[in-house]
């Protein structure tokens, strides 16, 4: 049975740091800002959150805060690793904090086969009654979840409810949209492909840029949902410089620079990521000023 339906704009939340520690007060403000802007769902503990550099107690506290502030909109918590045992452990650890679904990345470094990916998602889904969102991001994992495998999982595994597609391959994404079962959501994992993905029948985005401009990204997505494609196109064009500049360095380095420019948190990162260069700080400041 499908647990929830994910549509619209979800924000891949950043994790603010100050003096090497998670800045929970700033995190609360980030979440509150998202909710005030009408965001449709939240995605803490993804790659944008620098999750590999978070301790277990920090992950739990971040999810606890998000759930406390957001009782009535879906929360999708990132749990994926390149080890089935570790992923299942993350689910057990986070389950008490009430996420509605889990974001599970294609296992990285191991380079599993398509059958290996399918069996992995099947095993993860069997461990929980919550929804599973498959996350395909070959640029980070080194492996591509083929359309046929994504559709197979969507059809066969009842609580596999969505895919976050960041392959950049619109042909592949359209194949999933055409063949996935009813109720399965196809979400963009790349901000600059949200509008074309939705024009092809996709369901929304898990966005980096909405950390910075949640209202505008929500407006674009809702225009596309309403089939106001000319308006969605114009908003996409307005946002495109932001979509581009969020990746002038590795995500979320420019994003943190942008949040700092808005006075929302420090630009601090955890190693091995480094704080944005002065050039990136200037780029983000200028881009945000022109929105």
Torsion angles phi and psi, residue 185, rounded to 5: -105, 140
Evaluate whether 186 touches 165 at the Cβ level (below 8 Å): yes
Quickly tell me which residue has 């359209």 as its tokens: 174
Among 102, 120, 130, 164, the one annotated catalytic: 164
135 is catalytic: yes
Cα 253-67-28 angle, rounded to 5 deg: 50
Among 2, 135, 256, 285, the one annotated catalytic: 135
Within 10 angstroms of residue 290's Cβ, the number of other Cβ atoms is: 8
Tokens, residue 133: 């969102």
DSSP 38: T
- Displacement of CA 151 from its chain's centroid (Å): 20
Evaluate whether 76 touches 103 at the Cβ level (below 8 Å): yes
Evaluate whether 53 touches 20 at the Cβ level (below 8 Å): no
Tokens, residue 220: 């674009």
79 contacts: CB under 8 Å, gap ≥ 6: 45, 87, 90, 91, 94, 102, 103, 104
256 is catalytic: no
Catalytic residue numbers read: 135, 164
């Amino acid at each position: 049975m499908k647990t929830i339906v994910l549509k619209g704009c979800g924000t891949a939340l950043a994790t603010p740091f100050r003096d090497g520690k998670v800045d929970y007060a700033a995190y609360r403000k980030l979440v509150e800002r998202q909710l005030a802007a009408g965001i449709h769902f939240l995605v803490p503990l993804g790659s944008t959150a620098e999750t590999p550099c978070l301790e277990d107690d920090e992950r739990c506290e971040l999810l606890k805060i998000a759930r406390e502030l957001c009782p009535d909109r879906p929360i999708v918590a990132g749990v994926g690793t390149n080890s089935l045992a570790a992923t299942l452990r993350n689910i057990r650890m986070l389950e008490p904090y009430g996420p509605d679904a889990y974001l599970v990345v294609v296992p990285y470094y191991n380079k599993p086969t398509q059958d290996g990916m399918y069996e992995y998602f099947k095993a993860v889904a069997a461990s929980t009654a919550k929804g599973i969102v498959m996350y395909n991001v070959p640029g980070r994992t080194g492996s591509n979840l083929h359309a046929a495998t994504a559709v197979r999982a969507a059809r066969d595994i009842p609580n596999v409810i969505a895919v976050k597609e960041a392959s950049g391959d619109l042909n592949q994404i359209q194949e999933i949209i055409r063949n996935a079962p009813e109720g399965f959501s196809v979400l963009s994992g790349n901000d600059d492909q949200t509008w074309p993905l939705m024009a092809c029948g996709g369901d929304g985005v898990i966005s980096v840029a909405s950390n910075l401009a949640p209202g505008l990204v929500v407006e674009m997505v809702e225009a596309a949902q309403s089939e106001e494609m000319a308006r969605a196109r114009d908003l996409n064009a307005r946002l495109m410089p932001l979509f581009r500049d969020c990746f002038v360095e590795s995500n979320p380095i420019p994003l943190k620079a942008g949040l700092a420019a808005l006075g929302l948190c420090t630009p601090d990162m955890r190693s091995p990521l480094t704080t944005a260069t002065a050039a990136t700080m200037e780029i983000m400041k200028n881009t945000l000023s022109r929105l």
